[in-house]
Amino acid sequence: MSTLTFMRRAIALSHETMERGGGGPFGAVVVLDGRIVAEGWNRVTSSNDPTAHAEVTAIRAACSTLGSFSLAGGEIYTSCEPCPMCLAAIYWARLDRIYYANGRADAARIGFDDALLYREIALPIEQRILPMTQLLEREARLAFDAWETKTDKVRY
């Protein structure tokens, strides 16, 4: 299968699942070794899960199918440029490449504007709109200290 075939499948998912009421018009496929190992689509409104974006649902499905938290060696094809959350998930999943169709300006035009998120991430914590307060740092550090010395940890 070709890159265009994979992208066409992501685009088809975006349209088909949106028409069925699954969520917004977004679809994604994860490809490994030249084959689709998982598909995902936006399920935010149908599952009442604000994190159920197409890329995230595709990554979750791929990891479940493969029995691994790492998708190294794989690629993701998504019908739209990933939002900051999905982009972070793609990095955490260790995917090697992103292919996308619509851009973030296209998404903003139909009401999915990520500009605020991109601006906020770049700001120092104290300048962000959403207040953040650090509490009990010393107590929380105990778990980090234990992780640091744990001999059987699985790194990711």
Catalytic residue numbers read 55
**DSSP-derived pairing of the beta strands 35-41 and 75-80:** unpaired
Rounding to the nearest 10 degrees, give the CA dihedral for residues 12, 14, 18, 19: -20
For the stretch 44-48, contacts whose Cβ atoms lie closer than 8 Å and that sit 24 or more positions apart, written own/partner, are 45/21, 46/21, 46/22, 47/23
What DSSP element (H or E) covers 101? strand 97-102
Tokens 């794989």 -> residue: 74
